[in-house]
Structure 1
Amino acid sequence: MAQLLLDGMPRRLFSCTPTRLASFEDCPRRYRMTYIDRPAPPKGPPWAHTSLGVSAHNALHRWWDEPEPRRTPARAAELLRAGWIQDGWRDDEQSAAARERAAAMCERYAAGLDPARPPRAVERQVATRTEILALHGRVDRLDERDGELVVVDYKTGRRPPEEGEARTSPALALYAFAAERMLRQRCRQVELHHLPTGRVVVAEHTDESLARHIRRAESVAVDAAAATERFAAGQPADVAFPPRPGPLCSWCDFRRHCPEGQAAGPELTPWAGAERFADAGGESTGGRSTGGESTGGQPLD
């Protein structure tokens, strides 16, 4: 399906997830290495905080697949242990300590859920189109309350979300927009659920706030498509996709291929993002990207 971009020439819709758009905004060079280069450069070792976050998400997904009598807090802990991902940990001892703390975290969270009121969907793919975007992604959980859909996003980062973060999250807004269009049911409420603390941050979008997020996403897509075209036409990679070094470079999967990123921050161990959670009883610094894609290794808040 052809579509118009800035110069009036027919183009394909820009196929993307919220994670892909965020990747270009964060660092065009990392975007190129992730989505354009084929074969992609080798990534660094797996991150323990990613393993922890994915393990927790999977456990809560499977919890809702259980028959209602088995949806108990203890079962959430059992599912976390059964599906624990060991990649990235320093050793078996650290992994086991993190596993037990994550199991307790999931048990506490499940204690606040009503097993008799399952969500509309878990790990649900949603998709829609605009004049520029072919947008798709995976929502952690879609609730149905008072006839409307609610987007629920789990967070396992050490920092609880602050008021306002749900409203300003591009990913949550795009998921709400796509879910409403795809399922033909109003979806304006979005929520961040911080699993370590149980904190929930809520926002209610309006037509205007969703429109702002869509315009921003389309603007990013136009810039990414233009950079890709310039690169294909022969522009040097570092001109079309310049690096954007900063503190997050230490967490980038492609740090070894980026001199600017190496200079921007120290090299970290694969378990650095989750070390406090496993060894000191702190909260998880791990997480998982909305949209189900890698976030380049950085811990998610």
Structure 2
Amino acid sequence: MQLGLDGMPARLVRVTPSRLATWEDCRRRYRLTYLDRPVPPRGGPRAASTLGAVVHTALQAVFGDAPARRSPARAALEVDRRWSSEGFRDDAQAATYRERARTWVADYVERHAVPDAPEPTGEVVGLERWLSAPMGGMVAEGRADRLDDRAGETVVVDYKTGRRVPDADDARRSPALALYALAARRTLRRPCRRVELHHLPSGTIAAAEHDELSLAAHRERAEGTATELGAATDAFEADPGVAESLFPPAPGPRCASCDVRRHCPEGRAAAPAEPAWAGLAP
């Protein structure tokens, strides 16, 4: 147990990978997203996010069923059932990506999820599994896309549908995957070292095997970030007038797609707004 300066137990900072990433990316966006009340209006839906959500929920439905009931046709049907056209340029673009999503998910299920699949995933032990575990001065939380059991070890699987094809370095450097691995070990009480990024558009898997040193490094960085954002949050809640000094903007190219750019003059000046369909995989 950690003790505060007054000898009382210190408050554990609850963080998710998204909170940590937002803090490191732009502190103003962190405040606008997580702290301001009432919550400032956001930007409209983006096609890439819509597409990713459809693919994720379709795969959750397929992997949540018995292996004998899984099939490429069933996977494509799940995309149809969950489809949304929010954020796409027009009906034609939405129809194109709907068909692509059907193909991506069907091919993925055929390779990994049907009986006698050429690249079987192993036993699925978690789908959209909420993980929460105390680690030093923080409680790391988050929802893992999928957890597999392979030869008695848990493997963290994260689905990707964006433009960029991830590689093994991306998997190794991912703070989110490392925190999920650490939390899964605490929650499921079994080894968890391997993390994987499954990129549906390219059909590739980027994998990394963590060791104790690499996981400890991820944890140390996350704890440091959690301490910073926790202290800033406490100061802001005590005196909202410190907002500008504690939560400055970090203007740059990524401001083009920021969903709170309407509330940030520096962000609007840094980059013109991208259309809602920017970021779709080609």
Query: With structure 2 as the length reference, what TM-score do the two structures score?
Result: 0.92
For each residue in 1:176-223, what CA deviation from the matched residue of structure 2 results, as whole angstroms up to 9, or x when unmatched?
Answer: 000011110000110111111111111111111111111100100111
Which one of 245, 252, 255 corresponds to residue 246 of structure 1?
252
C-alpha distance in 1, partners of 2:224/2:97? 41
- Output the aligned Cα RMSD: 1.8
Once the two structures are superposed, the pairs formed by residues 67-86 of structure 1 within 5 Å of their partners are: 67-86=66-85
Q: Which residue of 2 aligns with 1:292?
A: none
Which one of 154, 159, 165 corresponds to residue 170 of structure 2?
165
Q: Is the 8 A contact 1:4 1:132 kept in 2?
A: no
For each residue in 1:234-269, what CA deviation from the matched residue of structure 2 results, as whole angstroms up to 9, or x when unmatched?
Answer: 343111101111111111110010011111111122
C-alpha distance in 1, partners of 2:238/2:67? 57
Letter paired with 1:200:
I
For each residue in 1:253-287, what CA deviation from the matched residue of structure 2 results, as whole angstroms up to 9, or x when unmatched?
Answer: 1001001111111112212222xx5xxxx2xxxxx
C-alpha distance in 2, partners of 1:64/1:226? 41
Q: Which residue of 2 aligns with 1:120?
A: 125
C-alpha distance in 2, partners of 1:189/1:5? 35
Q: Which residue of 1 aligns with 2:16?
A: 17
Q: Which residue of 2 aligns with 1:129?
A: 134
**SS of equivalent to 1:141:** strand
C-alpha distance in 2, partners of 1:7/1:244? 35
Quote how far apart the aligned CAs of 1:102 are.
Answer: 0.9
C-alpha distance in 2, partners of 1:70/1:225? 46
**SS of equivalent to 1:11:** coil
Q: Which residue of 2 aligns with 1:266?
A: 272
Letter paired with 1:71:
R
Quote how far apart the aligned CAs of 1:230 are.
Answer: 2.5
Quote how far apart the aligned CAs of 1:115 are.
Answer: 2.8
Q: Which runs of 5+ in 2 are unaligned?
A: 116-121
Matching of residue 221 in structure 1 with residue 220 in structure 2: no
Letter paired with 1:74:
A
Q: Is the 8 A contact 2:133 2:140 kept in 1?
A: yes
C-alpha distance in 2, partners of 1:204/1:6? 39
Query: With structure 1 as the length reference, what TM-score do the two structures score?
Result: 0.87
Quote how far apart the aligned CAs of 1:70 are.
Answer: 2.7
C-alpha distance in 1, partners of 2:202/2:89? 25
**SS of equivalent to 1:249:** helix
Q: Which residue of 1 aligns with 2:119?
A: none
Q: Which residue of 2 aligns with 1:100?
A: 99
Change (3 A) 1:129 1:91: same
Q: Percent identity?
A: 51
Q: Which residue of 2 aligns with 1:44?
A: 43
Once the two structures are superposed, the pairs formed by residues 49-64 of structure 1 within 5 Å of their partners are: 49-64=48-63
